[in-house]
């Protein structure tokens, strides 16, 4: 059994659109984004202030496949196809009969899956004549990805970074600066939204919801600027589908197909990425028993404890209202280290799948997640991003259950990024100072 199953698969030429398969739920599904003021479905014209037309089309398309532009595929070749690896030594350490495979997105130039959509978004904006992109970032992974993508397509990049991460993770700021982006801690004094958040609480650690409000305000008030979002929206899920398309082909070469797929879930993009190519089989009836599990932190439990309803994507109420599982757009999660999982809502697609019980969700505390990360580092060598470590914790639970049941099941998970810029968090864990 080869442990690195990278050989021979090609970078896909199209993304896979799960909405095509969900069309059979058409009587329930169209829960379109609503205008925050009128509460009426929002039209393409209103979105065009923030996004290029091609991405707006991708947001609503029901085509099964969407072509990947050659320019984007060429840049993907810097790091794709990403390896599919078998976690043999983790299996042995757990004494499990389960086979554990993982897709490793930490090989991307910026260390996470976020570059898959950053490159596509920068490309479509550039092609429509945009000169600058604004965005928010939590832990800094999305900001780094967009900063690099903007540099490669010669766009300016302005990033609002959640203040608690800005302070805890200074090196991500350095990465963004190195790629040429302008970075501010959010909430900042540069925007009306930022100033109003600070007036309410001068010591707020910030949140993704606040940073999104600031980034949108700058995009909406600056000529030639657009806004880019690193998760949640349908077009982001679409771009990330490349992960599962590759994984499916890589696993097929081993004659394997997953019984269970696990991904951590902040906005839902890496989970969508690894699972959608397989969920297409479940929804179309070919693999009815496939399980997909979303893993979130218990500090921000949007799927496991949230409500399924329309909510704003940001704190100031500037984004379209999205139908999603949410803990509330004014929720400020405690500053845990998995910054990328601190979003109050979830992608409308992931939310719908959860609502229809096509996927499951679980939540874990920080310390058990870091224990799982340490076991993974000590067996497989890779130090996972704290976000990805949530998936590993659930994989360990699944593998132990397989052992108890004496079942040989195939587990696939997404290792969405590496944790080499998260050593401060690991230091806190090792010293015993980490909170639950």
Ligand X SMILES: *Cc1c(COP(=O)(O)O)cnc(C)c1O
Q: Which residue has the tokens 């898959």?
A: 116
Residue nearest to ligand X (CB): 417
Task: Give first-to-last CA distance, the chain, whole Å.
Answer: 38
Contact with ligand X (CB under 6 A) among 80, 86, 114, 163 = 114
Please state, in angstroms and as integers, the Cα–Cα distance from residue 353 to each residue in 19, 56, 367, 387, following that order. 11, 22, 29, 21
Residues 41 to 80 in contact with ligand X, rule: CB under 6 A: none
For the bound state, the minimum distance from the C-beta of residue 172 to ligand X, rounded and expressed in Å, comes to: 10
Counting contacts by CB under 6 A, is residue 112 touching ligand X?
Answer: yes
Contact with ligand X (CB under 6 A) among 141, 184, 366, 394 = 141
Q: Which residue has the tokens 């993508």?
A: 149
CA distance 379 to 389: 14
Classify residue 326 as exposed, middle or buried by CB count within 10 Å of its CB (0-12, 13-18, 19+): buried
CA distance 234 to 41: 16
- Extract the tokens encoding 209: 């919801």
Please state, in angstroms and as integers, the Cα–Cα distance from residue 303 to each residue in 357, 359, 363, 368, following that order. 12, 11, 9, 19
Of 187 and 266, nearer to ligand X (C-beta) is 266
Residues 407 to 436 in contact with ligand X, rule: CB under 6 A: 416-417
Q: Which stretch binds ligand X (CB under 6 A): 25-33, 187-195, 266-274, 423-431?
A: 266-274
Total residues contacting ligand X by CB under 6 A comes to: 20
Q: Mask: binding to ligand X, 213-252, rule CB under 6 A, as x and -?
A: ------------------x---------------------
Of 268 and 320, nearer to ligand X (C-beta) is 268
Residues 321 to 340 in contact with ligand X, rule: CB under 6 A: 340
Of 261 and 402, nearer to ligand X (C-beta) is 261
Counting contacts by CB under 6 A, is residue 188 touching ligand X?
Answer: no
Helical pair 234-253 and 53-60, crossing angle rounded to 10 deg: 70
Q: Which stretch binds ligand X (CB under 6 A): 248-256, 258-266, 285-293, 369-377?
A: 258-266
Contact with ligand X (CB under 6 A) among 12, 83, 268, 301 = 268
Those residues whose C-beta lies under 8 Å from the C-beta of residue 11, and which sit 6 or more positions away, are 68, 73, 76, 77, 80, 81, 242, 246
For the bound state, the minimum distance from the C-beta of residue 17 to ligand X, rounded and expressed in Å, comes to: 17
Of 31 and 415, nearer to ligand X (C-beta) is 415
Closest CA to 106 of 294, 430, 386, 293: 386
> Is 135 in a helix, a strand, or coil?
strand
For the bound state, the minimum distance from the C-beta of residue 138 to ligand X, rounded and expressed in Å, comes to: 7
Contact with ligand X (CB under 6 A) among 119, 183, 233, 341 = 341
Q: Mask: binding to ligand X, 358-397, rule CB under 6 A, as x and -?
A: ---------------------------x-xx---------
Those residues whose C-beta lies under 8 Å from the C-beta of residue 103, and which sit 6 or more positions away, are 82, 83, 84, 243, 244, 246, 247, 274, 412, 413, 414, 415
> Is 326 in a helix, a strand, or coil?
strand
Contact with ligand X (CB under 6 A) among 264, 295, 299, 359 = 264
Interface residues with ligand X (CB under 6 A) are: 112, 114, 141-142, 231, 264-271, 340-341, 385, 387-388, 416-417
């Amino acid at each position: 059994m080869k442990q690195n199953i990278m050989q021979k698969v090609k970078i896909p030429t199209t993304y896979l659109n799960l909405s095509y398969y969900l069309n059979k739920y058409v009587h329930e599904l169209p829960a379109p984004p609503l205008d925050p003021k009128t509460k009426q479905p929002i039209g393409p014209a209103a979105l065009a202030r923030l996004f290029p037309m091609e991405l707006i089309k991708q947001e609503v398309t029901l085509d099964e496949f969407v072509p990947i532009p050659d320019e984007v595929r060429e840049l993907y070749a810097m790091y794709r196809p990403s390896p599919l690896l078998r976690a043999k030594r983790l299996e042995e350490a757990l004494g499990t009969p389960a086979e554990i495979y993982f897709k490793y997105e930490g090989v991307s130039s910026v260390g996470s899956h976020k570059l898959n959509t950053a490159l596509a978004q920068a490309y479509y904006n550039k092609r429509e004549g945009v000169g600058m992109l604004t965005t928010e970032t939590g832990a800094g992974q999305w900001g780094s990805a967009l900063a690099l993508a903007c540099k490669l397509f010669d766009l300016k990049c302005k990033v609002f970074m959640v203040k608690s991460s800005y302070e805890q993770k200074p090196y991500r700021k350095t990465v963004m600066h190195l790629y040429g982006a302008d970075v501010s801690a959010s909430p900042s004094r540069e925007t009306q939204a930022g100033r109003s958040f600070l007036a309410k609480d001068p010591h707020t650690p910030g949140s993704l919801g606040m940073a999104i409000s600031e980034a949108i305000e700058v995009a909406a008030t600056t000529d030639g600027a657009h806004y880019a979002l690193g998760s949640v929206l349908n077009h982001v899920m679409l771009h990330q589908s490349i992960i599962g398309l590759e994984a499916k082909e890589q696993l097929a070469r081993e004659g394997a197909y997953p019984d269970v797929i696990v991904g951590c879930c902040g906005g839902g993009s890496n989970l969508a990425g690894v699972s959608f190519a397989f969920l297409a089989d479940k929804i179309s009836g070919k693999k009815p028993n496939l399980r997909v599990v979303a893993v979130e932190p218990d500090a921000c439990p949007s799927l496991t404890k949230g409500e399924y309803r329309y909510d704003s994507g940001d704190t100031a109420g500037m984004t379209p209202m999205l139908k999603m599982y949410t803990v509330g757009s004014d929720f400020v999660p405690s500053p845990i280290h998995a910054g990328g999982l601190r979003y109050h809502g979830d992608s409308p697609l992931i939310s719908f799948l959860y609502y229809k019980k096509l996927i499951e969700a679980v939540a874990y505390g920080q310390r058990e997640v870091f224990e799982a990360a340490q076991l993974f580092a000590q067996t497989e060598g890779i130090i996972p991003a704290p976000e990805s470590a949530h998936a590993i914790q659930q994989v360990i639970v699944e593998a132990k259950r397989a052992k108890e049941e004496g079942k040989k099941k195939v587990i696939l998970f997404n290792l969405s990024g590496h944790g080499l810029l998260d050593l401060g968090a690991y230091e806190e864990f090792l010293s015993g100072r980490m909170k639950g």
